[in-house]
Amino acid sequence: MTDVAHLPGFSRRNGTLYCEALAVRSLAERFGTPLYLYSRQGLETAAADWLNGIKGTHHRVFFAVKSCSTLAVLRLFDRLGLGFDIVSGGELARCLAAGVAAEKIVYSGVSKTRQEIRSALTAGIGCFNLENPQELDRVQQEAEALGVTANISFRVNPDVDAKTHPYISTGLKDNKFGVSYKEALALYRRAQSLPNIRISGIDCHVGSQITQIEPFIEACRCMLNIVAALKSNGITLDHIDFGGGLGVQYNQETPPTACGVISRMAEICREKGFGDLSLWFEPGRSLSARAGMLAMTVEYLKPTEEKNFCIVDAGMNDMLRPALYQADMAVIAAEDRSDTKAETYDVVGPICESSDWLSKNRRLAVKEGDTLVMTCAGAYGMTMGSNYNTRPRAAEVLVDGGKVSLIRERETVGELFKAETIPAF
């Protein structure tokens, strides 16, 4: 097994790392670094894993736009049949710009402004996932003003421990997300009485980078208890939305498959007598992470008494996950070397923070000027990027067999402050 054997669209042949038919080193030389590169094959394989599902199971898949919002990726997923889960007016605008039909969009998020709600209603999105009573009132008011009906579900917090990093655990009762199990029934009754509201389903989301199936099972059973209570009160639902959160193999993790999650949720629903519900999922990471890599150039090799540093031109402004979540991301060489011995390095970036590291304790045979890549970088990479230290954000390319397209130009320094003005002092 090679270091990329688990990544569809990537391979290592004769020591050279390829994205489909193109050598990664050649892409780095052509477009410069830092560089995000995506494999069309990898994106299509991940989409098929979710969309194919289980025979006889009615399910829908909505890509979590926050994980990778590049227009070319959205357009490809749209053509493959995915819907889209958004959390802001900006993500709505991105989806529409990519040609997505508004009815394929689900709007999540804890702080939807009136303008965002109005824009979503005007566009005609498929469903709002509501997170508090006041939001229900706001959607009703805006829908009434526009003379339309809003499809809604409530995001219910099931108080499930996803056993993931605390920053991306979203289903515990002390998290800011959703409404409590106890208040859900009253909120659905209230929604049923509103003239411009149509109840569509129930929603939950317990966390991100989940590598066990048990949190999904626990959340499913909790949601079905509420569905049963609603049914006994004369409120029927069309769908149950399990959110996203399915993890990927960054290193040695062994997460369940998309097919496995869909199958188990469908089985539990049938056991509880709700096999007619449409099952909705909102994956992000498991659709885009493995299809993307972040290429970087080695600027310096810096040995110290304590450790060896491999200093590269990509940093926490390009990939925040290691600094924010202490994520253990794999960094590998684009070309195998036999002319230098492997050493253990901390791979670090140029940002003026000690937290600016990309990977620790990596065995690398590397020289200055070499190309390294971070694998599984296609989710929560570019979307969490920043201009800290006045650094332009990276370029992005999409590889399709032997063809490559520049899908986002590299920012220039001038673009970073062209919107600023200096007053007359």
Number of domains in the chain: 2
Mean pLDDT for the stretch of residues 294-299: 99
- Whether 408 is in a domain gets the answer yes
Query: Which of 161-175, 260-274, 277-291, 376-390 has the lowest average pLDDT?
Result: 161-175
Query: pLDDT-based confidence at 171, cuts 50/70/90?
Result: very low
User: Same domain, yes or no, for 171 and 199?
Assistant: yes
User: Same domain, yes or no, for 279 and 317?
Assistant: no
CATH number of the domain enclosing 186: 3.20.20.10
User: Same domain, yes or no, for 237 and 142?
Assistant: yes
Following DSSP, what letter does each residue of 94-154 receive, concatenated? Answer: HHHHTT--GGGEEE--S---HHHHHHHHHHT-SEEEE-SHHHHHHHHHHHHHHT--EEEEE
Query: What pLDDT score does 181 carry?
Result: 81
> Are residues 73 and 95 in contact, defined by beta-carbon separation less than 8 angstroms?
no
User: Same domain, yes or no, for 144 and 269?
Assistant: yes
Query: What pLDDT score does 209 carry?
Result: 87
Cis peptide before 392 (omega within 30 of 0): no
Mean pLDDT for the stretch of residues 130-134: 94
Query: What pLDDT score does 157 carry?
Result: 85
pTM of the model: 0.94
Report DSSP state, residue 72: H
Query: pLDDT-based confidence at 161, cuts 50/70/90?
Result: low
- Whether 344 is in a domain gets the answer yes
Looking at the predicted structure, is the pLDDT value of residue 206 above 90?
Answer: no
CATH number of the domain enclosing 35: 2.40.37.10
Round to whole Å and give the CA distance between 338 and 184.
Answer: 62
Query: What pLDDT score does 175 carry?
Result: 66
Query: pLDDT-based confidence at 160, cuts 50/70/90?
Result: low
Query: pLDDT-based confidence at 1, cuts 50/70/90?
Result: very low
Residue finishing a domain among 252, 283, 314: 283
Q: 252-268, pLDDT tens digit by residue? A: 888 899 999 999 999 99
User: Same domain, yes or no, for 120 and 195?
Assistant: yes
Query: What pLDDT score does 251 carry?
Result: 82
- Whether 317 is in a domain gets the answer yes
Residues of the domain holding 386: 10-39+289-416
User: Same domain, yes or no, for 294 and 263?
Assistant: no
User: Same domain, yes or no, for 125 and 226?
Assistant: yes
Q: 370-390, pLDDT tens digit by residue? A: 999 999 999 999 999 999 999
Query: pLDDT-based confidence at 168, cuts 50/70/90?
Result: very low
- Clarify whether 376 is annotated catalytic: no
Round to whole Å and give the CA distance between 109 and 40.
Answer: 29
Q: What percent of the chain has pLDDT over 90?
A: 83
Query: What pLDDT score does 207 carry?
Result: 80
Query: Which of 20-29, 108-117, 206-215, 360-369 has the lowest average pLDDT?
Result: 206-215
User: Same domain, yes or no, for 374 and 316?
Assistant: yes
Round to whole Å and give the CA distance between 169 and 192.
Answer: 31
Query: What pLDDT score does 180 carry?
Result: 85
Query: pLDDT-based confidence at 343, cuts 50/70/90?
Result: very high
Round to whole Å and give the CA distance between 245 and 205.
Answer: 7
Residue finishing a domain among 233, 254, 283: 283
User: Same domain, yes or no, for 270 and 374?
Assistant: no
Q: What percent of the chain has pLDDT over 70?
A: 94
Catalytic residue among 95, 220, 352, 376: 352
Residue finishing a domain among 237, 257, 283: 283
